[in-house]
Amino acid sequence: MATRRTVRIFVWGMAALAAAILGLALWERNLGPHGASLADFGAPFKLASSKGGELDSDTLKGKPYGIFFGFTHCPEVCPTTLSDMSVAMNELGETAKDFRLVFITVDPEKDTAPILANYLSSFDARIEGLAPTLDQLPALARAFHVYYKKVPTSDGDYTMDHTAVLFLFDKQANLASTVSFDEDKATRLAKLKKLLAAE
């Protein structure tokens, strides 16, 4: 029989998943990749990195890359997305050797660069965690049209609702495509292949 803690974790996980899917639907309806509001999608950044020091977004230019916003205590969307991308990057082999994926936390209160490093050690080494400060995060999220919200839980802690979209950028740092949480493996691979072929 499940313990109360197990039940709470399951309920939080389902609530977070539902919120992420809702956020995705709203993002696609209002700000999808073909929307005029994405003409100036994104913004330069320099953020603390799980690999040490800071990552300047200018260093991403020249090769295709991906950006995903999430958090380390995410029960399903984030680990699934990172796992799926790790598998895809591995399956693409030499074609994806220079592809980089950055995981930007929406929970800087808990997710420091060292914590991100430990969390990401379970995924592909090309995935780099970035930790904005509480002051940096709002403007960064606005620039990438990302929704996030702290949601209190019954035990006095909190979880995070957030957009469940992975953004794919071409070598000129322009938004080329997106990968949704609910897309199948074949679609995800096709998008990555198209992005990398355009290199």
pLDDT at 5: 44
What torsion, rounded to 10 degrees, do the Cα atoms 146, 108, 48, 52 define?
A: -130
| pLDDT value at 11 more than 70 | no
**Domain edges within the chain:** 4-197
| pLDDT value at 14 more than 70 | no
Cβ pair 13, 75 in contact under 8 A:
yes
| pLDDT value at 100 more than 50 | yes
Give which of 114, 106, 110 is closest to 132, Cα–Cα. 106
Highest mean pLDDT among 20-29, 130-139, 168-177: 130-139
pLDDT at 198: 83
Cβ neighbours for 16, distance < 8 A, ≥ 6 positions apart: 74, 75, 76, 77, 151, 159, 160, 161
- Residue-wise pLDDT for 152-197, tens only, equals 999 999 999 999 999 999 999 999 999 998 899 999 999 999 999 9
DSSP label at residue 176: E
| pLDDT value at 8 more than 70 | no
| Token representation of residue 137 | 């995060």
> Which residue would you say has higher pLDDT here, 111 or 18?
111
Calpha distance 107→105 (Å, rounded): 5
Whole-number percent of the chain with pLDDT over 70: 79
| pLDDT value at 108 more than 90 | yes
Calpha distance 175→38 (Å, rounded): 9
4-197: CATH architecture: 3-Layer(aba) Sandwich (3.40)
Calpha distance 120→81 (Å, rounded): 12
pTM: 0.82
pLDDT at 136: 97
Calpha distance 45→137 (Å, rounded): 10
**3 pLDDT tier (thresholds 50, 70, 90):** low
Cβ pair 109, 72 in contact under 8 A:
no
Name residue 66's beta-bridge partners: 101, 168
| pLDDT value at 149 more than 70 | yes
